[in-house]
Amino acid sequence: MTKTALLFAGQGAQAVGMGKDLSEKFPGAKTWFERANAALGYDLASICFNGPEPELTKTENAQPGILLVSWVAFQLLKEHVPSLSFEATAGLSLGEFTALTAAGAMSFEDGLRVVRERGQFMQEACEATRGSMAAIIGLDVAATREVCAQAGVALANLNCPGQLVISGPTERILKACDFAKARGAKRALPLTVAGAYHSPLMASAQSKLQAALERVALKPPAVAVVSNVTAQPHETAETIRARLVEQVTAPVRWEESMSCLLAQGFTRFIEFGPGTALSGFMKRIDKSAQMLNVADVASLEVAAKALAA
């Protein structure tokens, strides 16, 4: 029997128009967008559908927007494939909240609200510090760790073989890019982001997120949910809270998280939400894994057909 894991998109995947065709075609999707607007008290759906891009890109809108579109995609696939079953979930950074919601650890409304708050807290941390990030292509983890130590920055994302992301003060990131190129990196590219995510510069967001999570009713997930921080499944509700707070400054161990699932015999992965970044990472981690994605009407139909076969 095929073991299936659901994967949920992270920040950076947002795009104006995301979710719009799903809402227009499926009444159930429209209902979820309306529920989201009611839960948050503002028209997030319109920002997802129409932008403008600078408004959608704001961390406080991008994070709940991606969770919302990912959740709608998940609900629609369940409608199209009533027999859909899965044994694990995982999500990239903010996507971990969607993964926990999909696994029943928190309600949809609570997940949406706490992610909106998380985005606000992280935006405040960005504005209080001068930070940025850069993608390091073609350098291994050990060499990149040495570059980080040399430049005084953090290793933020271990996405897949040959693709890492570093994070820290802007001037140090630029130096780190030079150090990485000198060590043989194919490319070292500063990223267009609001700040230094998954680095110590985000520390001011942690106590605020901890307080917000204390107001959220959490229960043990119905299936395994892999933590970005440990690359292992979450345990109790209290450890979920602790790991989600830690995740704000800790590196995202995505390649290890996927390796954990692959080692447990998972062979099929379904990516939900805008973009196909997680599918791209999986191609570099294990080409033999079956990848499907659901982001819009066309990809929903393809995934439903593949699962029904």
| Residues with active-site annotation | 93, 198
Residues 30, 158: Cα–Cα separation, whole Å:
35
Residues 125, 195: Cα–Cα separation, whole Å:
8
- Count CB atoms within 10 A of the CB of residue 292: 21
Q: From 91, 105, 118, select the one nearest 218 (Cα to Cα).
A: 105
Beta strands at 154-160 and 3-8: parallel, antiparallel or unpaired: unpaired
| 151: three-class secondary structure by DSSP | helix
Q: For residue 196, which phi and psi values (nearest 5 degrees)?
A: -95, 75
Buried b (16+ CB within 10 A) or exposed e, 16-30: eebbbbbbeebeebb
CA–CA–CA angle 117, 121, 127 (5° rounding): 140
Report CA-CA distances (Å) from 15 to 50, 91, 148, 220, 237.
10, 18, 31, 32, 32
Contact 254, 228 (CB under 8 A): yes
Which residues on neighbouring strands pair with residue 134, listed in sequence order?
166, 190
* DSSP codes of every residue in 195-234: S-TTSGGGTHHHHHHHHHHHTS-----SSEEB-TTTSSB-
| 172: three-class secondary structure by DSSP | helix
Report residue 66 as tokens.
């991606």
